[in-house]
């Protein structure tokens, strides 16, 4: 897998750099704007917004405090695409543990949103002919039964639900696309979700 643009969404996190591809550092306000595009308004309105740590196992800096138990993160620093996500407490802990090199201890179902979608290697070429396939808006689910999740589709480029993992990790989560991506409608859709 070339990139994990989520969940959400993570190859750039492995580098732990704090600057976008242009080399220009994003302001906290720009990071918050990116983060709240990751999910529906009922989640993002009162979600905590965190920034990615600057080193493995480092602290996630609070950009905006929230009250509803959800956390949104901006797109990964230096990623080729801006791919923000919003996570419940279980899924966020799964990410934190994985990124710190710890085996996650998932005891219940965790849910996340990536309304802007994310790019995966185009393995199947079932849809499109480029090297990358854009998985449109989707939800992601992690649960305690890793063996069951492993039996599911592993190819995100065929447009169907699939399982994915963070770079360098083996723990998987389910990705469920909720709408095909349409570049012409993408900006309107993401913007409308936050009006």
Nearest-angstrom CA–CA distance, 166 and 70: 20
Q: What is the per-residue pLDDT across 34-84, written as a single tens digit (0 to 9) for each?
A: 999 999 999 999 999 999 998 878 899 999 999 999 999 998 887 777 889
Q: Which pLDDT score is estimated for 119?
A: 72
Dihedral of alpha carbons 67, 83, 88, 178, sign: positive
Q: Which pLDDT score is estimated for 104?
A: 92
The three state secondary structure string of 149-182 is HHCCCCCHHHCCCEEEECCCCCCEEEEEECCCCC
Report the percent of the chain where pLDDT is more than 70.
Answer: 76
Question: DSSP secondary-structure letter at 102?
Answer: P
Parallel, antiparallel, or unpaired: how do β-strands 172-177 and 118-121 relate? Answer: unpaired
Low-confidence spans in the chain with pLDDT less than 70:
1-24, 124-129, 181-195
Q: Which pLDDT score is estimated for 189?
A: 44
Q: Which pLDDT score is estimated for 130?
A: 74
Nearest-angstrom CA–CA distance, 108 and 143: 6
pTM of the model: 0.77
């Amino acid at each position: 897998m070339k990139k994990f643009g989520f969940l959400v969404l993570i190859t750039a996190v492995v580098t732990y750099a704090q600057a976008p591809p242009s080399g220009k550092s994003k302001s906290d306000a720009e990071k918050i704007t990116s983060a709240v595009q990751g999910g529906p308004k009922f989640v993002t309105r009162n979600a905590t917004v965190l920034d990615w740590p600057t080193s493995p196992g480092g602290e996630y800096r609070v950009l905006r405090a929230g009250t509803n138990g959800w956390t949104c993160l901006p797109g990964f620093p230096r990623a080729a695409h801006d791919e923000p996500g919003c996570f419940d407490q279980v899924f966020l802990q799964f990410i934190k543990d994985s990124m710190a090199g710890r085996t996650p201890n998932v005891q219940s179902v965790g849910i996340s949103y990536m309304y802007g979608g994310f790019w995966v290697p185009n393995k199947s070429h079932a849809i499109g002919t480029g090297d990358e396939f854009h998985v449109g808006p989707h939800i992601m689910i992690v649960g305690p039964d890793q063996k069951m999740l492993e039996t599911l589709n592993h190819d995100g480029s065929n447009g169907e639900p699939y399982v994915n993992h963070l770079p360098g990790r083996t723990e998987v989560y389910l990705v469920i696309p909720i709408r095909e991506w349409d570049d012409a409608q993408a900006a309107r859709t993401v913007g409308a979700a936050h009006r």
